[in-house]
Amino acid sequence: MERIDVSSQSMTDWSMVLDSGQVDSPTRQRSLESLVRRYWPSLYAKARSGGIDANEANDVVQGFITDILLERNLAAVADPERGRFRGLLSTAFSNYLRDRHRAQSSKKRRPSQGAPRSIERDAIQASDHGENDPEHAFNRHWVATVIQAAVTRVRVQFRETERRAEWRILEARLIDPMVSGTKATPYADLVEELDLRDVAQAASYLVNGKRALGRAILQEIGDTVKDPSQIEEEARELIELLERKSI
């Protein structure tokens, strides 16, 4: 099998998936951990929306990762030509939950094997908000992961290029209200805080920030698909999910 080059810090979903499936890859562990961090919130949300309580949901997701992703090497059967990895992952998790329910119902649960230490759940912020549709919960949290990654990308870009005022306005006017539900900071307060010329300058900075965030979201989506022609379809689905329920 052709070796996947994972030397760069930024890996696409498919490069991580394919590298994760190569048991002899020296970077497999790193790829697996990156993959888990990306999809843990979606898996957790799906478990919670299926009626599993918070503590048990963590154990269920950990069990799925151990049994299916690691031991059965789910990534090894993933194929970019056959569709999106998150679709394969969601279907596999649905099957895992169904088998788990059957096992519990028949009282034939096998002994617990414990959780691998290598997976750091503290780094993942998964929502405990209940939802009635497990599949929607999974996809909605995938959208949240994409947006959070895009926000991080823009924050790093703006700070590295000394555009801190633009970042501050984007954060105060758009990101914080979207993520935390807080009220947007008034333009007048930001003009005074950042010693800007006037409100018009602050508003212009926000426009620049929104454009940068939009580009970053498209870049993040591009990292999850094999064919660039799929970006538009993914972006359209992301918007539909956002319209159904806010992140």
Neighbours of 172 (CB within 10 A): 22
Asked if residue 206 belongs to a domain, the reply is: yes
Asked if residue 201 belongs to a domain, the reply is: yes
* Collapsed DSSP state (helix, strand, coil) of residue 86: helix
What pLDDT shows up at residue 113? 45
Asked if residue 125 has pLDDT above 50, the reply is no
What pLDDT shows up at residue 234? 76
Please check whether residues 229 and 118 belong to one and the same domain.
no
Of the three residues 75, 107, 130, the one that is the final residue of a domain is 130
What pLDDT shows up at residue 18? 86
Asked if residue 26 belongs to a domain, the reply is: yes
Residue span of the structural domain in which 50 resides: 11-130
Which among 160, 173, 150 is positioned nearest to 235, based on CA atoms?
A: 150
Please check whether residues 29 and 61 belong to one and the same domain.
yes
Asked if residue 106 belongs to a domain, the reply is: yes
Please check whether residues 151 and 59 belong to one and the same domain.
no
Cα gap 27→19, rounded to integer Å: 7
- Residue 61 sits at the vertex; the CA angle it makes with 118 and 21, to the nearest 5 degrees, is 60
Please check whether residues 77 and 102 belong to one and the same domain.
yes
Of the three residues 130, 155, 188, the one that is the final residue of a domain is 130
**Count of the separate structural domains present in the chain:** 2
Asked if residue 135 belongs to a domain, the reply is: no
For 9-43, the pLDDT digits (tens) are 344 577 888 888 888 889 999 889 988 988 998 99
